[in-house]
Structure 1
């Protein structure tokens, strides 16, 4: 099954609009502004108290202030986690003093897994182990299941489905280098003939080749992927989304895969 396609849609939004809407720039501004306020706090504290403000107090001030500013700028919740722990991580890195080679290796590994988050606005979300069984129960055991996992990560879902339903045609697409490379090598080593992985953006695929499209992405992109689903998937096919709903579009079904697990939403096209 060839999942490659030249059906790419480029965004034509003005550069200024892209910069304003960029979560990276908003997160950077929140951290930078918090740092400036932290300096003012340190200077004012020294003049008022007659002694330096304790270092851990400054770190706490930086973390809390950056989270507050980022919240005002309406970034996603996972950016708030980054904002809070970034100052702590910087201090720990300076304190531990890792060898330059180790620091570079750690940076490269993190970049290969999470680097595309800045561009795609989709963080890495691993799904729970109960998800494959729920999908198998939902879909009929037919030979004509052509299943696409949008943002397949390390391929856990697809490998589980491949083991359970070897007659299904399964495909995944992933934009992060390390997860894609791992899943691709694992597929070749285990020789799952009904499974393949592509590297790239889901916008480059033609969804009409699949009768089931699954995504576990981010609330930020659900409107975009739903537009592509409507434009390309044929009537009678199924779109699945784990945890995140399409804004303003009621699903045909909501499946709780396990207690305290995210909901699996089902739309019939």
Structure 2
């Protein structure tokens, strides 16, 4: 099965092929120049239709509808290509997880950190793992609040890892790692926390069940494990709602 990014590119490609296969012969026979603005809008409409028929999430439908019109508009601005290369590099450095694992950069808020701190305090000294730790917005304040516990953050986007590494300096109870979350051995931890996306949750749950020890706890921010009823749901007082789904092993 092709990867999700490849499937999305294939959908855009199908929309472009459909529209261009109709537009090119028509305007060619009439000896007219291709109206690229209208053509880009037609491709966007076809991509939206395909995304809807294939039951894509709403945000993918918006992306597909706007992608080609934005390409046309950006091309009309005659921006130096070097800026696009720089933007692509920066996006890769920050949002690598979104490209490779459908995991965008989410930052835990202060209310969530407080709820986690209270939960960890009830358990006593723990070994805590943050999968996809981002900038350290969870790991760093928890390490300050609970000096008797040990915290590990795993992040695979270079720039966000670097920021988190700098923020964790001077905190001996933090281990900050640049690595793939799928390579981390979960058996080394009492509590594993994830704020990812719906896409990796089934696979992550399989890993949790295979590796985490009895008595340990898996916590997912915002995204429940499909088909599994959590033992506890902590409703964090924040906007938008960010419930914590707790799954004891």
Superposition TM-score, scaled by structure 1 size: 0.80
8 Å CA contact 1:42, 1:52 repeated in 2: no
Report whether the alignment pairs 1:263 with 2:223: no
Gaps of 5+ in 1: 1-19
Give the deviation of 1:214 after TM superposition: 0.5
Which residue among 187, 199, 209 is the counterpart of 1:208? 187
Secondary structure of 1:241's aligned partner:
strand
Give 1:121's aligned residue: 102
Report whether the alignment pairs 1:109 with 2:90: yes
Which residue among 207, 212, 217 is the counterpart of 1:233? 212
Number of residue-to-residue matches in the alignment: 248
Give 1:139's aligned residue: 120
Superposed CA RMSD: 2.8
Give distance in 2, aligned partners of 1:168 and 1:88.
51
Which protein has greater RCO, CA pairs closer than 8 Å, 6+ apart? 1
Q: 1:184 to 1:207 in 2, by over 3 A?
A: same
Task: Kindly provide the CA deviation profile for residues 17-40 of structure 1, in whole angstroms up to 9, marking residues without a partner as x.
Answer: xxx341122111110111122224
Give distance in 1, aligned partners of 2:212 and 2:65.
41
Give distance in 1, aligned partners of 2:64 and 2:159.
24
Secondary structure of 2:218's aligned partner:
strand
8 Å CA contact 2:37, 2:69 repeated in 1: no
Gaps of 5+ in 2: none
8 Å CA contact 1:23, 1:118 repeated in 2: no
Give distance in 1, aligned partners of 2:31 and 2:91.
42
Q: 1:208 to 1:121 in 2, by over 3 A?
A: same
8 Å CA contact 1:26, 1:70 repeated in 2: no
Give 1:186's aligned residue: 167
8 Å CA contact 1:142, 1:167 repeated in 2: no
Which residue among 155, 176, 201 is the counterpart of 1:197? 176
Give 1:8's aligned residue: none
8 Å CA contact 2:112, 2:242 repeated in 1: no
